[in-house]
Chains A and B, each alone.
Chain A
Amino acid sequence: DAKTTQPNSMESNEEEPVHLPCNHSTISGTDYIHWYRQLPSQGPEYVIHGLTSNVNNRMASLAIAEDRKSSTLILHRATLRDAAVYYCILRDVGSARQLTFGSGTQLTVLP
């Protein structure tokens, strides 16, 4: 499976944008980029996913580099409730490979 690399931790101020990076230099053409987050004492929850184009939904935006070797999850206005571990995960469209979590980024939001 292609591997992702994320910073261990990041801090952000409340109500400011947050850019969470993910490197995936060995991504294949059939890998979707998925983001999940895990709030304290909760199971992971789906945030967003994309293949080549940038994506927006009510939770976040996903910016994918043109060569697809990196991506950035953007939270437009961080709130205290966004403090969580954010996981960047690759899933191959052509296989039944399971969701495999890397170490993720612990986001701390400062009031």
Chain B
Amino acid sequence: DTEVTQTPKHLVMGMTNKKSLKCEQHMGHRAMYWYKQKAKKPPELMFVYSYEKLSINESVPSRFSPECPNSSLLNLHLHALQPEDSALYLCASSRPERTGQGRGYTFGSGTRLTVV
């Protein structure tokens, strides 16, 4: 299994809703990532988990709350979002070792989030 699976593929939520994005991989990767991508822009890193521990938070607002329950799963909990948070949210995984070698990251297809 060489895939990263993200659910749901599309999500529409109101500004008072609470929702969660899910990401799963079975490649034995021990680093997992959340990226945010606005239309016609490159992906921007949000969070990094290494061995199930949060290692990087790129100054993301607290209305985004990541969680890594085990080595295969990554969640992004959403609460009180704003319309400007509408974007494609991408999950990725990789080996966490300090190397530039290897195939690097495997990305999921993303969750298209619309906040109304």
Contacts and interface: CB of A to CB of B under 8 A. Distances in A.
Interface of A: 30-32, 34, 36, 41-46, 49, 51, 85, 87, 91-96, 98-104
B100 A92 contact: yes
B62 to A, nearest CB: 21
B110 interface: yes
Contact of B98 (A49, A96, A102): A96
Interface string B30-53: 000100000000111100101000
Contact of B42 (A49, A93, A103): A103
What DSSP secondary structure best describes chain A's contact surface? loop
A81 to B, nearest CB: 16
A98 B56 contact: yes
Contact of A46 (B42, B45, B106): B106
A49 to B, nearest CB: 7
B109 interface: yes
Contacts of A93: 98-101
A34 B102 CA distance: 10
Given A98-B33, A98-B45, A102-B42, A46 B105 contact: yes
Contact of A87 (B42, B56, B99): B42
Interface of B: 4, 33, 42-45, 48, 50, 56, 90, 92, 94, 96, 98-110
Contact of A94 (B43, B98, B108, B110): B98
A46 B90 CA distance: 14
Contact of B101 (A32, A36, A46, A87): A32
Nearest to B97: A96
A19 B48 CA distance: 33
A104 B41 CA distance: 9
Contacts of A102: 42
Given A100-B45, A103-B42, A44 B105 contact: yes
CB-CB nearest 5 A-B residue pairs: A43-B107, A32-B100, A101-B42, A91-B100, A93-B100
